Structure 1
């Protein structure tokens, strides 16, 4: 499945959050979406999922209008992971992951053997099998994020849209999660991941889109999208670059010297 967002514009009241953004999600690709806070990353993800209707532009799925696709079909083909509060009632971790199978089941129907197998695969891939009997209220932030990632994987969709899936993870778990997303992409799934960790984005993503103030500031392979000039203009930072095990890496190091105004004033 290929998803294309064409000149997407989204407004919240009088504020334009996305301004004529174009983006394609290719099968078998891990696409990183990066940008400062408030750049429009989550809004773009929601628009691509069909959850936030754009004020202008449209989203196509294999050439057809995504908005015209039945909600049940869309839920089976596009899996989403967004930042969310606790469930509000004491669900078991395994029950949370089982919610990912709802698009494949009849309302109030029991889990089938295929559902149990998908849940087992998802929890195994995210190292959450040992949490299956733990209640949501007893999970740490990192454990809960891994359970939510397992729920998204359990859908076994053609497209996965993940909003900051490594935000609460420790460094080792973050590496595991990014490696998992890359393996998922290599298996043919189109994966879009919102990241603030530029080091991991540069290392794991096939392509990166940089958003700034609702517009695409740069797009391409990591070496093309995350140039020194882009990082100065968008993030106001300087980076240290190097190579390890044959791969290039970058590490945010210091704020860029600004001749005119501090970063927050310059973006107003």
Structure 2
């Protein structure tokens, strides 16, 4: 499936996590230095690749190509899009947030600081979403800004997402915290992995049912005819996928591990 490339990248990053987890456990300062060094190497590599090959900010084909662009194909996928080194930025930030939540049981946040961080975090995330507006409309983006967006957009998104998690975890998320903690999300949360695995085949199935040419008209029309059916059918399929594979193999694993422990 078209999304399994990320499972490979994710697994490779996971295998290297002890290099960060152990320093964090022994001496947090060393762990943070290791994390910073890896993120800097990842960012520098990203910038170098953009400048060297004159690549666009993303793999989306809605851009005006650089006349000097080369190797935009398998090389781009291997060195940039699928590369664990490029993808590790947000993963490492998530690990640091998880370590912080585990070690800092309570945290008091000043109201002014909380509001300022919310504004900053959401602003960064909004910049990431809207940052490619000109590119998607056919404007040529100078190589400096292409490199900056490609190298820093994941970090900016991670900063905003990290603050949402931290603020809500310690009870400073307000209505958003209540909404995210709503018990109705529990079954959907348990199906997210299977939803990730099945959503592209579901999207293709829904598109294949159309006999007319698909093109964008309005946002509402896209939501009604595309987004809502895809989400609904994806979670429906995920229930059976989870029952057949995820839950079944978890039960087998528990039985085997239980037998090993008892023996």
TM range (shorter): under 0.3
Q: Which has the larger radius of gyration?
A: 2
More helix by proportion, 1 or 2?
Answer: 2
1 or 2 for the larger relative contact order (CA 8 Å, sep ≥6)? 1
More strand by proportion, 1 or 2?
Answer: 1
- Compute the TM-score of the two structures, normalised by the length of structure 2: 0.27
